[in-house]
Structure 1
Amino acid sequence: MDKVQNGIDRLQNESDQQNKISGNIALLCHSASVDENLKNSIEVFKEIYGERLIKVFGPQHGFVSDVQDNMIETDHYKHPYFNLPIYSLYSETREPTPEMLKDINTFVIDLQDVGTRVYTYITTMTYILKACAKENIKVVILDRPNPVSGKIIEGPILKESLLSFVGCMPIPQRHSLTMGEMAKFAKDHFNLSCELEVITMKNWKREMFWDDTGLEWINPSPNLPTWQGSLTFAGTVLFEGTNISEGRGTTRSLEVIGHPSIEPYSFVESIKKEIESLDDSHSFTLRPTVFMPTFQKHTGAPCGGVHIHIKDKKAFKSWRLSQLLCQKLYHHLGNDFEWVKKAYEYEYEKLPIDLINGDEAIRTWVENNDSIKALSEIENNTQEYKESIKKIYLYE
């Protein structure tokens, strides 16, 4: 199988791709924006375009992807080595202002996404498309793989009443698109007038997962140190809306979940029957574990819980497993379980769990200890989405 070439690699090697980027350039990138030799995209752009690269932007977690989640903002600054202004789009503003866009002719986006709606890079890209449409600025996407494949969809369509920074369009949690395809979806959905160009990958197929690409995994955010974490993330991210630790502050964040009140072996034994009833139960193992977060929830406290080990990536359904684990933890812990009520990604009224799930019915399903069949019925509203995205596919 041939190694995947990202958009940035094609830009380096093909002059016709380079010609798609004209005039003064703004570049949105982060630490995972690297070429096949692990050179950062800024260096590549400086080599190709020289002084035409005049502004750099960073998404949530910062330009160097070193800042933690949920409303921990990053500052604007001048890069000491590249001597370029770095504008944060996770600061007092989440979208580029007219002043930031001044003198820009082409806005280039080169971000590694993880294939899940709540991962905020989709929203940042959408805000850029909207801002550039107003200023008549061309947008170019340097495409990269969806690490959890381009075929599998999980979770219900986001309800309009729950639109937020962790979901700005009616898409499911695990959406199956690349950033380039998602840009096309956003342009169509919002009927945007901006000129959009996608520099596609070579050799990427929809059935591929990250470990099929031949590419190095670079953390796209601080708490995804492994590509497998991006696969569990599609489900375990929901625990951000609870007082269950999703493993932040450990070396396997979003692959482990737990709470100080849980004895892991008895908990795993108590849910064995329900877990075995899942049609993908062969695709993972829940290993009883204890971990101690060094920051965030339950700092310094031993947390009993499970480590999710993936055995069959193609069959594994993280979203459904995580919903079932949440339901069982809710009833296992009783009064020790809590839905988080603090502000979440600039939403101050709605519960974080509802923003993450995209439908309040899932929280009700958890609280009522309802069946897996009932959960599947909530999730079963994606057919129109599945049909609509076929026309924007850039890959087979």
Structure 2
Amino acid sequence: MLVGLDRLPRLPSVTSRLNRTRFGVLAHPASVDRGIEHIGDVLARIGAKPALFFGPEHGYGGEAQDMVDVPHARDKRTGAPIISLYGDRFEDLSPRPEHLASIDVLLIDLADVGSRYYTFVWTALLATRAAAKAGVPVILLDRPNPITGSRRTIEGRSQVPGFLSFVGLEPIPVRHSLTIGETVALFARREGIPLGDALSIVTVEGWDREKYADAWDRPFVMPSPNMPTCCTAIVYPGGCLLEGTNLSEGRGTTQPFEIVGAPWIDGHQLAQGLRATGLQGFVARPLTFRPTFQKHAGQICGGVQIHVADRMTFRPVATYTALVALARRQNPQNFTFRTERYEYIDTIPAFDLLTGSDQARRAIEAGEDARSIAEYVSTPDPTWPDVTAEASAALQEAAI
């Protein structure tokens, strides 16, 4: 398998263009090739020197935790400025006109994890929109979806109008099966951005869409501080829902999104409740843990670890939706949904932004059946497979 960055040095039309123009690079720590060489080193090896770098959420170097403003910096190796695309305002998520005025081409290489909430795909789309408006062509180096591109794994209701945000700029299922290139090409084409001109994509070659990242011919490189393994990415479409609650999603442990709970949760009761739902493909193991930072830092929490036993039957969105409903039912006095600002939105609860409407939260608050709520949230739009075909066609139209 060859990802976009693997193919880049073998494409003279692209490398010669980079060598003779001013170009910027939007990347992060997982922007590596098959030999685990970072894009900055790959570009240096072929004699291409970026005029500036852009960094998404967590930063170009990947040091920042979630929802932490990242300052501008300077690359120590090249001296080029690093422009942060994650500040304290929504406007900070896109490259500014003055930054784009200093380059002739924007090169994008970001590793996604196949979940709507993961913000890198939306950073890529916002950057593409800004570049197109400024007349700066974009070359996107595509990467495979680490939790497969199989349509059989699509899960999660698309957002209804009024619930779009940086954890879902466009209405798509939570687990969508697309690559970052397919997603950007899909919406760029719909917006009239010329494919193959304003947006070109170096596609992935030799990818088996049924395979997970741990079956690829390379190690999994964490794209953000709390996404250490392929197993994390598999549970993340469900585990991220806990960000909309006061349950710990396991940040501050060695297995975020797999280990979850709170000081007032009885792990055995929660595990029993999950088994009673009849949802398949996982084992919920009761445990106690002490997060070292973020929610309930330093406190002993009760909870469960979600062990995925069968990837084909495991439905992360359904599983964790049921988990949230059961946690609230177990201790409604202490359980709360997050009401603080979340990804630049002050007026809509985070759980609603994550699930795509207020229906699931209201059903949980009303004490409705956990399995029924899980089925509602996890059911994708039946037309989405047709949209994936549209995305594939858009990718081929933009392909180099």
2:218 counterpart of 1:215? yes
Residue of structure 2 aligned with 1:252, choices 227, 245, 255 = 255
What amino acid is the match of 1:262? I
Look up the match of 2:12. 15
Look up the match of 1:204. 207
SS of the residue aligned with 2:54? Answer: strand
Unaligned runs of 5+ in 2: none
- Whether contact under 8 Å (2:318, 2:378) holds in the other structure is no
CA distance, structure 1, for counterparts of residue 11 and residue 193 of structure 2: 28
Look up the match of 1:287. 285
What amino acid is the match of 1:220? P
CA distance, structure 1, for counterparts of residue 201 and residue 374 of structure 2: 36
- Whether contact under 8 Å (2:155, 2:379) holds in the other structure is no
Residue of structure 1 aligned with 2:198, choices 195, 199, 214 = 195
Tell me how far 1:390 sits from its aligned partner.
Answer: 0.5
Q: 1:375 to 1:251 in 2, by over 3 A?
A: closer
Aligned residues: 385
Look up the match of 1:68. 65
CA distance, structure 1, for counterparts of residue 215 and residue 367 of structure 2: 38
CA distance, structure 2, for counterparts of residue 179 and residue 261 of structure 1: 39
17-26 vs 214-223, which moves further:
17-26
2:156 counterpart of 1:160? no
Tell me how far 1:95 sits from its aligned partner.
Answer: 0.6
What amino acid is the match of 2:121? I
Look up the match of 1:323. 321
Q: 1:379 to 1:290 in 2, by over 3 A?
A: closer
Tell me how far 1:358 sits from its aligned partner.
Answer: 0.9
Tell me how far 1:210 sits from its aligned partner.
Answer: 0.6
CA distance, structure 2, for counterparts of residue 360 and residue 263 of structure 1: 27
2:334 counterpart of 1:333? no
Look up the match of 2:81. 85
What amino acid is the match of 2:7? R
- Whether contact under 8 Å (1:340, 1:352) holds in the other structure is yes
SS of the residue aligned with 2:223? Answer: coil
2:259 counterpart of 1:262? no
Look up the match of 2:382. 383
SS of the residue aligned with 1:99? Answer: helix
Look up the match of 1:224. 227
Q: 1:192 to 1:13 in 2, by over 3 A?
A: closer
Tell me how far 1:68 sits from its aligned partner.
Answer: 0.6
Tell me how far 1:292 sits from its aligned partner.
Answer: 0.5
What amino acid is the match of 1:167? G
What amino acid is the match of 2:5? I
* TM-score normalised according to structure 1 size: 0.93
Tell me how far 1:130 sits from its aligned partner.
Answer: 1.1
CA distance, structure 1, for counterparts of residue 274 and residue 158 of structure 2: 28
Alignment of 1:48-197 (within 5 A): 48-51=46-49, 53-70=50-67, 72-91=68-87, 93-151=92-150, 152-193=153-194, 195-197=198-200
How many percent of aligned residue pairs carry the same amino acid? 34
CA distance, structure 1, for counterparts of residue 377 and residue 174 of structure 2: 13
CA distance, structure 2, for counterparts of residue 245 and residue 89 of structure 1: 27
CA distance, structure 2, for counterparts of residue 326 and residue 273 of structure 1: 14
Tell me how far 1:198 sits from its aligned partner.
Answer: 1.0
- Whether contact under 8 Å (1:31, 1:65) holds in the other structure is yes
What amino acid is the match of 1:250? T
Q: Deviations over 1:263-298 (max 9, x none)?
A: 222332344322xx22xx1x2111111110000000
